[in-house]
Structures are given as structure tokens and as C-alpha cells.
Amino acid sequence: MKRNLDRILFSLICLFPFLCLLVVDTFFFPYVTPKNFAFRALTEVLVALWIFLISLDAQYRPQKSILTWTYLVFIIVISVADYFGENPFKSFWSNFSRMEGLVTHLHLFAFYLVLTSVLNTKVRWSTFFKITFLISIGVGIYSFFQSVGLAAAVSMIRVDGTFGNPSYLAIYMALHFIIGLILLAEQNTKKLGFFYSLGCVITAVSLFLTQTRSALVGLVGGILFIVCALFFSPTARKFKRKIYFHLTAIIMATALIISGIKYFDLLPKVSDRIGNSSLADQSLQNRIYIWKLAGDSFKDHPWLGLGQENFIYSLKHYQPQMWGEAWTDRAHNNILEWLTSAGIFGCLAYLAFFVTTLYLLWFQNKNKIDLEIKIFISGFFICYFLNSLFLFDNITTYLVFFSVLAFVHFLSTSVKPTYSNQPIDWNIWHAVLGFFLCIFLVSGLYFANYKNIESNKILIQSSIASRAVLANANGSDRLLVESILDQNLLARAEIREQLIATANYIANQPLSYEFKQKVFLLTKKELEIELTRDPKNIYLKMIGGKFYGTYGQFGEADKLFVDALAISPRNQTILAEQGTFFIKTGQFVKVAETFRKIYELEPKFELARMYLALGLIYGNQSAEAHLIINQLYAIKSQEAHNSQFLAAWLNRKDFVSAAQFVNLKEQSGLADPEDLILLGNYFMMNNQNALAIDAFTKADRLGYRDKALIRALIKNAQAAKKI
């Protein structure tokens, strides 16, 4: 029984490296949620079986280790920080877009404990690392298919594997490159040496195809440490020669492949983001502004931070220069991330992982652990740490990181457990424990996973316009998202945000007044509930203001916009929404003032110049607006073709400028039938039916999606012309 349970647990552990492959298109955030739900469910099964195994054999209890105590302290600190944070519910459950939170860290701690107990031999650890390395090779090959267009990728110019984010794939590959070196160091045959070297080449080239600088910096740092440490170490020359030979071959092969790709332009879709790096790069500048934002937030909450998943509350320190990252929810630096999430105590607890690991490797067990293994593992953590200065973790990096921590625990444990083959002395307590473990497992799988998976799938369905409304047989339509509103699920804020988006969509659809009123009242009630729970959430206030404005509740809308700007007064995105609200209410002086303020906050953005020109149009200063638009044309800015210009000129009844704008777009090869339909309708409203017919006819030639509608419009315009 014990042996069978032990084998089952080891088999389940070997499934965890496969989680990175999970992508399910029917899930909301298909690259994130399937991996995390599977991880949580698999961990819960693993823990239930492990606890039962402990009851049968005490040798499976966790061995004492300073590393395990460090992890426990980390869990306690972040738990306290989350409880006293800005939004404890979100800190615990996270949301669908990130799927982290305290619940994930509790699962990771449990996963770590099981690993330290079940992976109790070098053979098992070697098997585990071989499996995860083989999978990384498969992911690397898949990324090659993406680069040549044989497999789909989220990014058009950077591969992302099965991760949906090039940066996630990059650090996964960098860490597995060093795991490959560890396996290479342990092998004794030429065939295996060649195979592991080839695997390292695949991971390195895949990293290059992601064009991610942070992971490259991390990998280079890790390799340099390994090379230098081996050079100065008293390791046998034969071993050094073997590692240097394979590492040189790997680097040369990788360099040759990359040079060939660039010289022959084999992958024209892949950008040269690494080669074009500079300190003036906008993405690096954005990182610096985000880091400053995180630092300011830490000063406000120095001891325990804001709690996990609460970075949005840092946006009261928002700077206009970071408009490109207006709604960032991460600090993009793990040290700053834990400073803002859990304060100085949480950050120190996080850094303690590295200090403790180095202590165990180089001081407490300096004569017990092979020097070569110490060097390679240290290189692994250097790679991880350097990357973490520019990025944040996700479930795949967490799994690799804590697996290697568990391996360090295994290497440093002074007494290895000896497992008894004695028959089990069964008693009533085993039955009671088994019963409660079954209840725990079924409850966890159902309430924490299944119900949230169902809500996740409903949420993505409700985001599709054609499926957002369910038609009942009795004629009483309802919203698909209604079925998950009152269940208090992990992503309750995201669910209500989707409800608001659906309500805004329905407001402009040919549906009955009664149904629209029902949707408005439902959304208003849920918005008020969420605002009561989360009164400092400026994003919620902004989309709430937009919702009220859409339904003509101008007083409520104005109040929410004012509240949001009181918290983050220099946020251009909120100002842009407020300016759009002023357009709806006909407050054109305020429109001009608001859009000019956007420009003055940070003029370098082309979008800011677009808003300035838009404000000038509403302020009846068309000449000045034309000057700015011409400047945008001169620099070939996409903002020169923004359809908001057309709406503004039509609103101000400047049909000449409106027609000129449409013609310029057409000459630039960017003709939009929607613009022509809008222009034609305004011509009809002002009895310029000949111009309306011309606009509708052009829209028809451009392939307007609704042929029946366009023909009806042309027919109506022709009939009006005859009158």
C-alpha cells in the first residue's frame, strides 16, 4: 500500500512539468487559467494522497531544513500582508488574468513540501529534471514553428510558445538551459552529452526568437558565473574540459544559427529587439517609470505593503510619461513587487530564499555537496534573479524555481529517510482521516476549481457580442453573465467589469427599451456593490463613469470621473474618457480644456497631439487642428487617421473638413466604409442627399459588411433627393 502510494505520488509529480503545455481557447485568458486551474487541482490531489501516506509512514513527513522554515516564514508574512491589505479578497484569490494570489502560494508551498518528501533519491530527481528538460525542448521546437508561421502566436514579431507571452517563454528557456547543463554535467556517455547539448542549443535559439532582453541578461550572467567559478575551482581538469567543450560547442552552434537567421533573413517577421536596445528605448523608459511608481507606493505602506494583486492602488502616483503602461498591475521587478505587495518584511522574506540557498550550498554543507552541482545551481539562481529585476513570476517560473529549491533541500538534508516495508497497522483513525481527506479533496476540486472554471468559460462567452444575450422561449431575454454574478467567485471584479462592457454594447443595439432598462438597473446595482467593496479602484470608477454616460446618467458619470481624477489627477486615460463624456453632454469648452490638458501633461505622445487637435475642433479652431493633423501626417502617424476627427467635424457641422478627412484616408489606402456610412448619414440629415449617395456608394464598393443596410441607405438617399 505504502509503496503503491509512493509510486502514485511520484507519477503525479512528474505530470507538473507538462502543465506549461496547457492552452485552452475556450477559457478566459487561455494561456493563463488552464495552467493554473490544472496546477491547483493536481496539487490538491497530491496533498491529499501525501497526507494519507504520512499517516501510514512517519518517514514521509517533511525533513527539518532551514529552507523549509524560510518558506514557511514567507507564507506567514504574505498572509498577514494580504489580510491587512487594500483588498484581502483579491489578494487571496487573485483574478483570471494573473491567477496568483495567496491561494496559489499556499498550493506552491504544499507542492514544495511533497517534493521534499517524495523525491528522496538522486534517481528520482534526475528523472524529474530529465522530463522537464525534454518538455522544454518540445516547447522550443514549437516556437520555431511559430517563427516560420506554421503555428499561431499571440505576437506577430516575437514567439511565445505555449505561454502567450514572449517574456514568460524566455525565462522558462533560460532556466531550462542551465538545467540542461546540470544534466550534461551528470552524464557519462557521448550520446547523452550530444543530446543535452542539442537541447541547450534549442532552448537558447528559442530564447533569441522571443527577443526578450531580461532573460538574455539573466542567462549570460548565469553562464559567466559558471564559467568563472569552474575556472577558479579545484575541480578535476577532465570535468572542466568536458564542460568547456560542450559549452563552447553550444555557444558556437547557437551563434551560427542566429547569424544564419539574420544574414539570410530567414525569419523576417522576427524583430531585432535585442540588437536595437538602448537606454532611450520606450519599453525600458516605461519600466523606469513603473519602478518609480512602485517606490512611491512602498513609501506609503512600508511595512506590509498593499497586499498581493493590489498594484492598481499605486496609480495615485501615476506619471504622464508612463501612458503606454497606464493600467499596469505589476512592478516588473520582483524586489519592488514584494516591497509593494508585502512591504519590507515580505521583500526580506523573499530575498531570504536566495540567502538561505547560498548558505546551504556553500557554507553549511560545503564538503557534502559536489562542488560542480553547487556552481550550476548557483548559476541557475543568478539567472533567475537577474531576470526578476525586470520581470515578474508566473506559474511556470514558480514551478521551476520551487522545484530547484526542493532539490537544494534534498542535497542539504543531513539524514535521508529510510522507508519501512513493515505491514501497515490499520486502525479506525486511518478510515476517519481518509474520509475527511475525500471530503476536503472533493470540496476543493468543486468549489475552488470546477465552479470557477465554469464561470471562466461563461465569462469568455459573454465577451462575444453575439452570445452576450440569451433569448428565452417566453420572450424574457437575459444576459449570459447574470448566471455567475452572485456566486462570489474568485474573479468577481472581472465578472462585473464584463457586465459593464456588455451593458455598454447593448445600449447601442436594436433591442427593446424594457430590456435595456433591465440591463441598466442590473449593471447599476452590481457596479454599486463593487464600488462599495473597492472604493479606491480608479479603473472601476472610470468604466463606471463611461457606463453612466452611455445610459444618460450624466450626474453619476461626472461624479465617478471626478472621484477617479481626485485619486490620479494626471492620468491621461481617465481624462480622455472624461473628455468623451463632455462631448456627449455638449460641454465643448470643457472638451477643449480637457484634451489640451492631456497634451500639456506629456506632449511627446502622438496620441496626445491627436487629442489636442480633437479639442481644437470642438473649440471651433479648425485651422489650428488642421495644422496639427498635417504634422501627424508628415511623421506618418496612425493617429492622423483617427476616426474621432470625423465624428468631431460632423458634430460641429464642418462637412468640408469631414469630407477632406475621408478623402485623405482614402488616398492613404486606409479608406474605412464605417467612416463613409457616418458621413453619408450626416449628409442626409442636412439634406445633402447627392453627397450622401456618393458616400454610401463608396462604402458599398469598399465591401461594407451589411449589404442589405447599404442598399437601403442608398435607396432612401435617392428617394430623398427626388423630393
pLDDT along the chain (723 residues), means of 10: 89 98 94 97 96 88 92 98 96 94 97 95 95 98 90 84 95 98 88 94 95 94 95 81 92 92 68 65 84 96 97 94 87 96 98 96 82 94 97 96 97 68 68 86 92 91 75 66 81 91 89 90 94 95 97 96 97 97 96 97 95 95 92 92 92 88 85 87 86 87 82 83 65
* Look-up of cell digits 458619470: 557
Residue 181 C-beta-side C-alpha neighbours within 13 Å: 32
Q: How far apart are the first and last CA of the chain?
A: 92
Helix, strand and coil content of the chain, in percent to the nearest 5, comes to 75, 0, 25
Q: Read off the pLDDT of residues 141-166 as tens digits, 9 standing for 90 and up.
A: 999 999 888 888 887 778 999 999 99
Q: Give the pLDDT of residue 473.
A: 47
| C-alpha distances out from residue 104 to 76, 83, 493, Å | 14, 15, 18
| DSSP structure string for 341-391 | HHHHHHHHHHHHHHHHHHHIIIIITTTTS-HHHHHHHHHHHHHHHHHHTT-
Digit-coded pLDDT (tens) for 364-411 = 866 788 888 999 999 999 999 999 999 999 999 999 999 999 999 999
Residue 470 φ/ψ, nearest 5 degrees: -100, 125
Whether the CB-CB separation of 142 and 162 falls below 8 Å is answered with yes
Q: Taking phi first (over 0 means left), then psi (-120 to 50 degrees means alpha), and beta for anything else, what does residue 620 get? A: left
Q: Where are the beta strands (DSSP E) in 443-582?
A: 469-470, 478-479
HSE-up of residue 621 (Cα within 13 Å, Cβ side): 17
CA distance 687 to 702: 24
Asked whether the beta carbons of 484 and 453 are under 8 A apart, the reply is: no
Q: What nine digits make up the cell of 122?
A: 538522486
Strand 469-470 relative to strand 478-479, pairing: antiparallel
Query: Looking at this protein, which amino acid is placed at residue 427?
Result: N
Q: How many CA atoms lie within 13 A of 108 on its CB side?
A: 25
> Does an H or E element contain 13, and which?
helix 2-13
350's CB contacts (< 8 A; 6+ apart) are: 74, 334, 335, 338, 342
| Residue whose cell numbers read 487642428 | 625
Residue 6 CB-density burial (10 A; 0-12 exposed, 13-18 middle, 19+ buried): buried
Alpha carbon distance 285, 272 (integer Å): 18
The number of residues in the chain equals 723
Q: How far apart are CA 153 and CA 150, in angstroms?
A: 10
Residue 57 DSSP symbol: -
- For residues 215, 216, 218, 222, the Cα torsion angle rounded to the nearest 10 degrees is 140
Distance CA 198, CA 254 (A): 10
